[in-house]
Amino acid sequence: MLKQRPLGHAISTHVTIYPTLLQEFWWNVETIYRGTSMWIRSKVMNRGIILNEETLIDALQLNDDPDTTFFPREKLEETLREMSYRIPTFRGRSTNLIGHFNELSYRFMEVVHAVVQVKPYNFSKFLMRDLEANMHTRQPFLIFCRFVTKVITSQLDFGGVTYWYL
Task: Of 62, 57, 19, 61, give the one whose Cα is nearest residue 37.
Answer: 57
The pLDDT assigned to 88 comes to 59
pLDDT band for 47, please (50, 70, 90 cuts). Answer: very high
112 and 33 in a common domain: no
Residues 133 and 115 in one domain: no
C-alpha distances (whole Å) from 92 to each of 78, 97, 102 are: 15, 14, 16
56 and 9 belong to one structural domain:
yes
pLDDT on residue 63: 79
Q: What percent of the chain has pLDDT over 90?
A: 11
**Which residue from 163, 132, 137 is spatially nearest to 46, judged by alpha carbons?**
163
- Number of domains within the chain: 2
- Integer Rg of the chain from CA: 18
Beta bridge partner(s), residue 33: 38
Same domain, 144 and 112: no
Residue range(s) defining the domain that contains residue 17: 1-64+121-166
* Same domain, yes or no: 48 and 127: yes
Of residues 72 and 134, more confidently modeled: 72
